[in-house]
Structure 1
Amino acid sequence: MTSPVIFLLLLTVALTVSASPTAYEALRTYNFPVGILPKGVISYELDESSGHFRADLNGSCSFSLEGSYQLSYKSTITGRISENKLTDLRGISVKVLFFWVNILEVVRKHDDLDFSVGVATASFPLDNFFVSPQCGCGLDCDELRIRKLKLNTKNNPTLSSA
C-alpha cells in the first residue's frame, strides 16, 4: 500500500512538471503573440537570465501568409528574447522577390510587429499574429481561417463573418 505522503509528493511533482509553460505561453510573458511561432513546437529551452532560447519544431516548416509572403522555419529556431524584442534570430526566413533572407529581429511597437532582415524592416499589425499558422497552409487552413475570422470579428465589430 502506498503511503499518503508519498502519493502527495508524487502528485506535486507531476503537477509541477505539467505546469511548465509552453513555448507559446513563454512568448506571452515577453509581450509577444503566439502566432510568431507556427504550430508544432515540440520542445523549447529558455535561459531566463540571458534570454537565450531554442525552440524545436517537429520538422522544417514553410507556408504563405496573405498570399504574398512565404515564410520558412528550420526545425530549430534560436535567438534571444526580452520584453517586446526578439534578436539574434536564426532559423526563420522570408522570401523577398526571388531571394530568401533571414529574419534577424522582431520588435513589438505598440500594436505592430516590426520584422527586420538587416537592411530592411516591415511592420505588420499585431492582430495578424493572434493565431499560430500551420505548416503547409499557414492561416488558410479551414479551421484556422474560421478562428482568425472570429477573433477579428470579436476585436472589430464592424467586420462581418460572411
Structure 2
Amino acid sequence: MAPRSLELIFLLIIVVVPMKGTVAYSSIHELLRSHGLPAGLFPKSVKSYNLDQRGVLEVHLDHPCMAKYETRVLFETVVRANLSLGQLKGLEGLSQEELFLWLPVKDIIVDDPLSGLILIDIGLAHKQLSLSLFEDPPVCRSQGLELNMPGRKNIGFQDQR
C-alpha cells in the first residue's frame, strides 16, 4: 500500500470513528420525532437547542412566548427536560393555564403512539390529550405578553388596541 493511501485511511479513522453514535438533526422538531414525540411540542421560533450525552435537552427561544394547544402554554426563554424515547421528564420553563392558574408542566409522555394520546403531567393532575394537537409546531406570540415571573401570578396579555 502506498504511503498516501495509509494517510487517507488514518485520516478517515480519526474523523469517522469519533462520529459513530452521533446523529445530527436539522431541527428540534426532527429530534423530537426521532424520539417518538410529536414535532409540535416546541414552537416554530426555537432559536437553538442542545442535547447532551446524558439526555438533557435545553431549548432556547429569543424571548418568552405563549402558544395555544387545547389551553394556553407559556414557554420561558430556556426550557429544559430529560429526553428519552417517548418522554420529556422533569420539564423546567414550561407552564400551562388551567382554570385561570398557571401550573408548571412536569412531564410529557407518549406511552403508546398507536393510542393517539399524549399525557401531560401538571403536578396536580394528568391530562390526556390527542396527539393530533401537537403535530405541527405552533406559532408562539410574545406581543403584549407581560411577565412578572415570581410566583407566576402576573402572567397575562395587555390590552390590544
With the shorter chain as reference, the TM-score category is 0.5 to 0.7
Gaps of 5+ in 2: 1-18, 143-161
Q: What residue ranges of structure 1 are gaps of 5+ in the alignment? A: 1-15, 138-162
**In structure 1, what is the equivalent of residue 68 of structure 2?**
64
In the other structure, the counterpart of 1:25 is: 30
Work out whether residues 69 and 134 of structure 2, in 8 Å CA contact, stay in contact via their aligned partners in 1. Answer: no
**Runs of 4+ residues over 3 Å off in structure 1:** none
Asked if 1:39 is matched to 2:44, the reply is yes
State the alpha-carbon separation in 2 of the partners of residues 92 and 71 from structure 1.
7
What letter matches 1:51 in structure 2?
G
Q: Does 1:121 align with 2:123?
A: no
**Cα distance in structure 2, aligned partners of 1:43 and 1:63:** 18
Q: Secondary structure at the residue paired with 1:132?
A: coil
User: 2: distance between equivalents of 1:63 and 1:83?
Assistant: 24
Tell me the equivalent position of 2:7: none
Alignment of 1:129-140 (within 5 A): 129-136=134-141
Q: Give me the whole-angstrom Cα distance separating, in 2, the residues matched to 1:135 and 1:23.
A: 15
Letter in 2 for 1:103: V
Higher Rg of the two aligned structures: 2
Measured against aligned partners, the alpha-carbon deviations of 1:10-47 in whole angstroms (never above 9, x if no partner) come to: xxxxxx9xx93121111111101110111111111101
C-alpha RMSD over aligned residues: 2.1
For residues 79 and 103 of structure 2, what CA distance do their matches in structure 1 show? 15
Which of the residues 83, 86, 91 maps onto 1:84?
86
TM superposition score normalised by structure 1: 0.67
Which residue of the partner structure matches residue 107 of structure 1? Answer: 109
Residue 65 (structure 1) shift:
3.0
Task: Identify the residue that residue 52 of structure 1 maps to in structure 2.
Answer: 56
Report sequence identity in percent.
Answer: 26
Q: Secondary structure at the match of 1:109?
A: coil
CA distance in 2, matches of 1:36, 1:63: 10
TM-score between the two structures when normalised by the length of structure 2: 0.68
Q: What do the CA deviations read for 1:103-150 (whole angstroms, capped 9, x no partner)?
A: 00011032211000112010111111110100129xxxxxxxxxxxxx
SS in structure 2 of the partner of residue 27 of structure 1:
helix
